[in-house]
């Protein structure tokens, strides 16, 4: 019934001035949150999906007026279960999914500092007269509540990032990156530097203490997911973490190499946006004047990456090249066309071909800009032939996209 409640009717039907209705909607969501720690994976996933649907329906309309106690999420993030680690993992995973849903719908990370009461009795007016539920209804008076601040939630998220199980630290890194980004420009922006430093300290210590393959793999996963939402972490202290990740590009394989390439993509996107131009100077102890990590990838390295048979590495390589095609000197990209054509023109994976076509289109657009470095004759031939092959792609959706 709840998905139908969240998906039916216009969102404007939710009265912005009806405080009791807001409280009722919050009450429904909180009750749903308590059901999102089921031991059965499919049930947990369906419960979370339902709550995300409801949040996506109501949050854009009500925003901060939707009363959701972050204390429920905080308790699950800090859950402990002696002798039943699987149960603890389920609790924390559910809390991470829910917090992700809040942030994805642009709701605040923490409670409103003024939310010191939680209204009660908001559902009684909607019950039919004579309902047995009314006989057991709690008093309508408000109950005292202590709001949860951003520092408490960020500390709990960091503890999940430090968790031993990948099922916890993997999604925790994604949500922590989103949470750090949400603080910028908010009323709690003054809390950001200290939280940022705590995260950086843990990651840098991990890079200098655990040299095992498992330790390297873990840190690359964390950097990948954290920098997706908060790429500034890669710039701190003279790009220390970015340089560490780049140094692992040829040392790791498979998923680990894809993690490195995605970190480089996040760094390149931030470089293109100019977000780091007004950042404070690197803190003492970090290398000065370190160039962007993407400029240190040679033509030979690119050719090796593109020739690999691991789709996740090729996909991540294309994402990075597509980002570089937005601002990188074209004379550094034209020499890569032979390797791109050989590896991707007839790639079996549709998503890799789609990224390849998108890259070719972007290169052609930039080549037409005034003052751009034009391709030589062989590169121009490969560029044209690649686009023509795309028009004849075996996948109908790809052909339509190319024609469009």
Q: What is the pLDDT of residues 162-203, one digit of tens each?
A: 999 999 999 999 999 999 999 887 778 888 899 999 999 999
* pLDDT given at position 284: 32
Report residue 118: phi and psi, to 5°. -120, 120
> What is the number of other CB atoms lying within 10 angstroms of the CB of residue 365?
11
pTM of the predicted structure, to 2 decimals: 0.83
Q: Is the pLDDT of residue 13 over 90?
A: no
The pair of structure tokens assigned to 86 is: 């699987």
SS3 383: helix
Give the pLDDT confidence of 356-369 residue by residue, as tens digits. 999 999 999 999 99
pLDDT per position as a tens digit, 307-346: 887 888 999 999 999 999 988 888 889 999 999 999 888 8
Tens of pLDDT, residue by residue over 266-289, are 999 888 876 544 343 333 333 344
Does pLDDT of 243 surpass 50?
Answer: yes
* Distance (Å, whole) CA 295 – CA 254: 22
Q: Where are the alpha helices (DSSP H) in 12-131?
A: 19-34, 41-62, 70-77, 85-104
Quick one: which of 324, 351, 340 has its CA closest to 386?
340
Res. 129 pLDDT band, cuts 50 70 90: confident
Q: Which two tokens stand for residue 365?
A: 């657009």
> Which residue is associated with the tokens 């946006």?
273
User: Which stretch, 49-63, 133-147, 213-227, 341-355, has highest mean pLDDT?
Assistant: 213-227
**Per-residue tokens: 251:** 């040392």
- When pLDDT is cut at 50, 70 and 90, the band that residue 124 belongs to is low
Return the structure tokens found at 329: 């000197």
Task: Point out the least confidently predicted range of 13-22, 82-91, 132-141.
Answer: 132-141
Please tell me the predicted confidence (pLDDT) of residue 277.
41
Please give the Cα distance from 353 to 315 (Å, whole number). 9
Q: Looking at the predicted structure, is the pLDDT value of residue 23 above 80?
A: no
């Amino acid at each position: 019934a709840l998905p139908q409640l969240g998906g039916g009717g216009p969102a404007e039907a939710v009265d912005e001035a009806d405080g009791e209705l807001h409280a009722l909607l919050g009450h429904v969501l909180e009750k749903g949150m308590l059901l999102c720690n089921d031991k059965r994976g499919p049930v947990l996933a369906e419960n979370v999906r339902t709550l995300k649907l409801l949040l996506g329906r109501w949050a854009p309309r009500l925003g901060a007026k939707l009363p959701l106690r972050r204390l429920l999420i905080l308790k699950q993030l800090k859950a402990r279960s002696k002798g039943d680690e699987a149960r603890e993992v389920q609790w924390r995973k559910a809390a991470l999914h829910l917090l992700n849903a809040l942030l994805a719908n642009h709701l605040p990370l923490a409670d409103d500092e003024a939310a010191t009461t939680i209204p009660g009795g908001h559902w009684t007016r909607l019950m039919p007269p004579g309902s047995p539920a009314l006989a057991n209804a709690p008093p309508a008076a408000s109950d005292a509540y202590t709001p949860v601040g951003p520092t408490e939630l960020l500390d709990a998220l960091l503890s999940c990032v430090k968790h031993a199980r990948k099922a916890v630290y993997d999604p925790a890194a994604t949500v922590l990156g989103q949470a750090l980004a949400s603080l910028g420009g908010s009323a709690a922006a003054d809390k950001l530097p200290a939280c940022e430093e705590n995260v950086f300290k843990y990651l840098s210590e991990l890079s200098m203490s655990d040299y095992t393959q498992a330790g390297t793999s873990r840190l690359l996963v964390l950097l990948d997911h954290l920098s997706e939402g908060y790429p500034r972490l890669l710039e701190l202290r003279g790009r220390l973490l970015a340089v560490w990740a780049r140094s692992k590009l040829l040392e790791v394989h498979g998923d680990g190499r894809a993690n490195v390439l995605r970190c480089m993509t996040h760094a390149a996107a931030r470089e293109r946006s100019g977000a780091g131009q007004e950042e404070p100077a690197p803190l003492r102890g970090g290398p000065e004047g370190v160039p962007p990590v993407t400029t240190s990838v040679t033509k030979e390295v690119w050719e090796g990456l593109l020739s690999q048979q691991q789709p996740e590495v090729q996909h991540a390589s294309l994402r990075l090249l597509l980002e570089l095609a937005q601002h990188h000197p074209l004379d550094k990209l034209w020499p890569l066309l032979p390797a791109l054509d050989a590896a991707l023109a007839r790639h079996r994976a549709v998503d890799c071909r789609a990224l390849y076509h998108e890259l070719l289109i972007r290169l052609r657009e930039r080549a037409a800009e005034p003052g751009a470095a034009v391709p030589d004759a062989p590169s121009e031939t490969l560029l044209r032939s690649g686009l023509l092959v795309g028009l004849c792609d075996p996948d109908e959706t790809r052909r339509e996209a190319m024609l469009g």
